[in-house]
Amino acid sequence: MSLAQRLSSINSQFLYLALIVVTTIFLFPQIKIPNKPDQAAIDLYVAVSQIPADKPLLIQSDWTNSSRGESSGQFEALMRILMRRGQKFVLYSVGDPQAPQVARNVIAIINKERVDAGQQPYLPLRDYVDVGFLPNAEGVGQAMKANIRRAFGDKTNRGADGQERTIWSTPWLAQSKSVKDFGMLINITASSTIDVLIERLGGEVPLGLLCTGVIGPQMIPFYNGKQLVGLSIGLKGVYDLEWMMEHGVRGAQTREVAGPDEVVSANHPDIKIPKLEGKNLDRGSKYYLSLHAALALMIICVILGNLTLIGARLKGRKA
């Protein structure tokens, strides 16, 4: 058996083992890999950064632990951005009964981080409201369009004083009577809940999307069609967000000399968003090197797989 043949008939169990080894080893070295964020992610970041501070956001968090590798990094980054900017938001889920809990866990972790850094934690009712799980994605979309107050109903949150109060009792939600009164609706999802949103709330409120790499390609046409103001896809998207938080974004027109890592947005000629202070690089940076390794392994596999095919063809040509 020639080497080429042997290489192209590897038992799949060896490949599986190789993947485990490769991804694990590269989790440990901490290297900051240079990055150029996607324009779609830049658009999302800029759009979020430009929402007036007094306009609350709607955050539809539909991910669970099964897509933790991508979604939790995205949600963490989003929460950090919003909290640093002091943006108020309404958090709800339609995708899975378990989604609110994983979101709460992330908020608790980031709050701890904030307290450790000497900042105020983000508290229910005061800084955000937690609507929890609303079953039936299509129905919720329909109802939000018709009447957002009835769609969310009389959900209560426990305030800092330990009292349960209805979410509509918060002063910063008083002016929000319809979906149109919100600055943006951001969906963090691993499923097709975003389709439901585009179908039912498209045009009512700007839609932003943080999705997994699986949903991503399918959503690019909707981003190009301006139905989404921006989107961050998968682990690369997480790293993009972390990178922009760490280095800031400027428009192609602002002529100040910037660091080599600063992000330049082609779609926003005269914008200047400074870097955010505090912990910016987290899960995206931790996993990115392993992702490289895994992708490299994949490419090697494809090449090996093709070796015999090419070899056999060459042989056939000679004969």
Partner 1 sequence: MDGYTKLKLAAGVLATVGLYSVLYRENKFYRFVEHVFLGLAAGFTVFAVWAETLKVQWWDKMTGSQGEAGSPGTPGFWAYILLLPIGLMGYMVFSKKHNWMSRIPIGVILGFWSGQQIQIFWNKWGPQLNDSMKPIIPTNWSLFRPDMSQMTPEAAAVVQNDIYLSQAINNLIFTFTILAVLSYFFFSFDLKSKFMQTMNKSGRWLLMVGLGAIFGSTVMARFALVIDRMFFIFVEFLQRALFA
Partner 2 sequence: MQYYDSGWVGVLVTVLIVAVILATIYRSTKMEGNLFIRRIAGLNAIDEAIGRATEMGRPVVMVPGIGGLDAIAVQAINIFAKVTQTAAKFATPIKLCCADAAVYAVAQETIRDVYQREGLIERFDSEAVQFVSDRQFAFAAGVAGIIRREKVAAAFFLGAFFAESLIFAESANAMGAIQVAGSTQTTQTPFFVAACDYVLIGDEFYAASAYLTRHPILVGSLIGQDYAKIFYAALITFGCLLTSYQMAFTMKTHKRENRQWVALEAPERKTKKDTTFGYIFDVESPTEEEMKVERPQRQPNWWEQAPEAEGGN
Partner 3 sequence: MDLMAQISWSHRAGEGGIWTMMLVGFFIGMALMFVISRAPTRARRPIVGAFTFLSGLFYVMLYLWPTPKSKGQFDIPQGPVESVGFFLQDTVPVVKDFASILTAFLLGLGVFSLLRIHLSRIFKGHKDRFFSATLLVSMVLMMIVGYAQWYQREFTAAAKTTDYGNPDNWTGAMQAFDFLFDGLLQQMDAAMFSIIAFFILSAAYRAFRIRSVEATIMLGTALILMLSLMGLVDYLSTTAVASLGGDQNVLQNFTLKSVSDWIKNNLQSPSLRAMEFGVGLGALAMGLRLWLNLERGGVGG
**Where does this chain bind partner 2 (CB under 8 A)?**
66, 168-169, 171, 173-175, 177, 191-192, 203, 214-215, 217-218
Amino acid at 312: A
DSSP character at residue 278:
S
Alpha helices by DSSP H, the chain: 3-7, 12-25, 39-49, 68-85, 99-116, 137-146, 148-152, 193-201, 216-224, 234-247, 283-318
Give the contact letters, 209-248, x = binds to partner 1 (CB under 8 A), - = no: ---xxx-xxx--xx-xxxx-----xxxx------------
Residue of the chain from 255, 315, 317, 318 that contacts partner 1 (CB under 8 A): 255
Identify what 244 binds: partner 3, partner 2, partner 1, none; CB under 5 to 8 Å per kind: none
DSSP character at residue 275:
P
Is residue 188 at the binding interface for partner 1, with CB under 8 A as the rule?
no
DSSP character at residue 94:
-
Identify what 30 binds: partner 3, partner 2, partner 1, none; CB under 5 to 8 Å per kind: none
Identify what 169 binds: partner 3, partner 1, partner 2, none; CB under 5 to 8 Å per kind: partner 2
> If we measure between CA atoms, which residue out of 91, 61, 49 comes closest to residue 265?
49
Burial of 318 (0-12, 13-18, 19+ CB in 10 A): exposed
- For the bound state, the minimum distance from the C-beta of residue 82 to partner 2, rounded and expressed in Å, comes to 23
Nearer to partner 1 by C-beta: 161 or 270?
270
Identify what 126 binds: partner 3, partner 1, partner 2, none; CB under 5 to 8 Å per kind: none
CA 118 to chain centre: 26
> If we measure between CA atoms, which residue out of 187, 229, 190, 203 comes closest to residue 49?
229
Identify what 174 binds: partner 3, partner 1, partner 2, none; CB under 5 to 8 Å per kind: partner 2
Q: Residue 25: left (phi > 0), alpha (psi -120 to 50), or beta?
A: alpha
Q: Is 133 helix (H, G, I), strand (E, B) or coil?
A: strand
Give me the residues that bind partner 1 (CB under 8 A), please.
13, 16, 19-20, 23-24, 27, 67-70, 97, 133, 135-136, 138, 154, 166, 195, 198-200, 202-203, 212-214, 216-218, 221-222, 224-227, 233-236, 252-253, 255, 269-270, 286-287, 290-291, 294-295, 298
